[in-house]
Structure 1
């Protein structure tokens, strides 16, 4: 599908600095370009949280209640419909920044079980990003950041449970990003936000900050 904007997707495990990078990219690019941010699966995440955590917000995580393969299918659907229902908005932009992309669902969810062929066809309707940025980080640093910002995961999981979960996610990202998207731009998540921004801008616009 031809489009008049550059599609930039940013990936990374919780605590990597991914969302901070997206916000910094938006702020920087908006000085000279029309820039939109999209957060796929935001609606389904809110719905799952309401279903699973209602009345128990500090003791239950929806990720531990909603079947992961079902979440994967729902997230694929919501990501795909962005390009239909926000098409006009996107077409008026120079840059569209996606905070997460399809590799998130590969890392955070199980493989789709029901209607696998249909889900594959839906995933294929999403356009390829012009640039896919992967903020890569070690589990120890990611966990420390989650604890420092008092993330819900850090409040509900024990330190050992949190480390095990983040370590598993990092391993799954290695497979999702290196095996299926070897062309992704790898950024060092241990660097400062300014350094991350400079590295990303070098790839996104072809010049440094």
Structure 2
């Protein structure tokens, strides 16, 4: 039975498929047609003559189930097919239709034993997974539902036809309240869905419930210090705490530290919801502390959003949502700071500082070291967030000089 009907947002003919074929370019897009179309250029390379071709898409179940299924498949493919196949991130979507983005993978099996088919047999047992195979004839290629057994009758052919690259990376259709959360209730609901499969979710939600009061009157200024690892945030925030006699807070807050390793191992949807709730707990702490003294915050919502957007959007910087996109807006229910400063240093200086530290890193921090594209996307996403926007501070000089720069900005913007 063909499971394509479960693709929400339209039938196959209305959907566009995208493959992250070249990380330096936009996703390679194609649609389906009843008539053969000759393939050229990059499309010809992707659907070339070598090996068997398959794609699979995780389309069924709730959002938590889909996220965990996709993550499990990704692990399975990376372990089982790494030596024998090319595996690319892929997706399916309906242009300009929000929440129509369906994640998946495109597989090119170059092995003589066709090792991918055994893996696909197992994966297709899930009702939430749909698998397609691609057949070639000369310069033409078509898609059909894949089955480990021969078809009783010839399936309808859906010919591959090149499609123009989407104006925006297709993942942006699903970023809102999936990779980046714009209200507490949405993030809270994700962890509620996880409460039976991740017991720690209940403990996190209990901490959130205890911190719901975030009222803040005309208190002291709140200054957020942002930046990649090893840009000098810790040194600067400690110096500001002393020089301003300020309270120093961090996001995620210390109360969530026991749970970070657990949630860092989860798919982006769950991990992002966890960190989003951390911002709301931090906001509650800010609301209380700012009534007594200025508040310095080591990272806040900008970090959460910048890393999430850069991770969700594959490929190059140009694939990011355009400046002014609603995806860069500040959540309406999250306490806003008075000033946000983004510390920057050269890539070479940041790597030198990281080597000097010699400490453990999160997966995303490790990715920053080896993937220049990812680093550039994170930095650009930081710069595009508005209301409040970041003021960029060159953190290359000595700590004393950086402190003086920042103190001048605080006096000018916050009148401290």
- 1:69 corresponding residue in structure 2: 269
- 1:180 corresponding residue in structure 2: 385
Q: Which has the higher helix share?
A: 1
Return 5+ residue gaps in structure 1 as ranges: 53-61, 114-119
- 1:171 corresponding residue in structure 2: 376
- 1:83 corresponding residue in structure 2: 283
Cα distance in 1 for residues equivalent to 2:306 and 2:329: 19
Check 1:13–1:168 CA distance in 2 against 1; reply closer, same or farther (3 A cut).
farther
How many residues matched?
180
Matching residue within 269, 293, 306 for 1:107? 306
Structure with more relative contact order (C-alpha pairs < 8 Å, separation 6 or more): 1
* Cα displacement string for residues 108-127 of structure 1 (whole angstroms, at most 9, x for unaligned residues): 335899xxxxxx99932222
* Cα displacement string for residues 41-91 of structure 1 (whole angstroms, at most 9, x for unaligned residues): 133343122x37xxxxxxxxx4xx232332222222121133335633331
3-state SS, counterpart of residue 289 of structure 2: helix
| Root mean square deviation of aligned Cα | 3.3
- 1:142 corresponding residue in structure 2: 350
- TM-score, reference length from structure 1: 0.72
Matching residue within 246, 252, 258 for 1:46? 258
* Cα displacement string for residues 142-194 of structure 1 (whole angstroms, at most 9, x for unaligned residues): 1111110112139x99x9x66224x3453133322222238422111211111
Equivalent residues of 2:222, 2:290 under 8 A apart: no
Cα distance in 1 for residues equivalent to 2:410 and 2:290: 17
3-state SS, counterpart of residue 224 of structure 2: strand
1:27 to partner: Cα distance: 1.4
3-state SS, counterpart of residue 8 of structure 1: strand
Q: Which has the higher strand share?
A: 2
1:10 to partner: Cα distance: 0.5
Q: Which has the larger radius of gyration?
A: 2
Check 1:99–1:169 CA distance in 2 against 1; reply closer, same or farther (3 A cut).
farther
- 1:131 corresponding residue in structure 2: 339
Return 5+ residue gaps in structure 2 as ranges: 1-215, 313-327
Equivalent residues of 2:224, 2:337 under 8 A apart: yes
- 2:125 corresponding residue in structure 1: none
3-state SS, counterpart of residue 223 of structure 2: strand
- 2:360 corresponding residue in structure 1: 152
3-state SS, counterpart of residue 84 of structure 1: helix
Matching residue within 3, 19, 22 for 2:237? 22
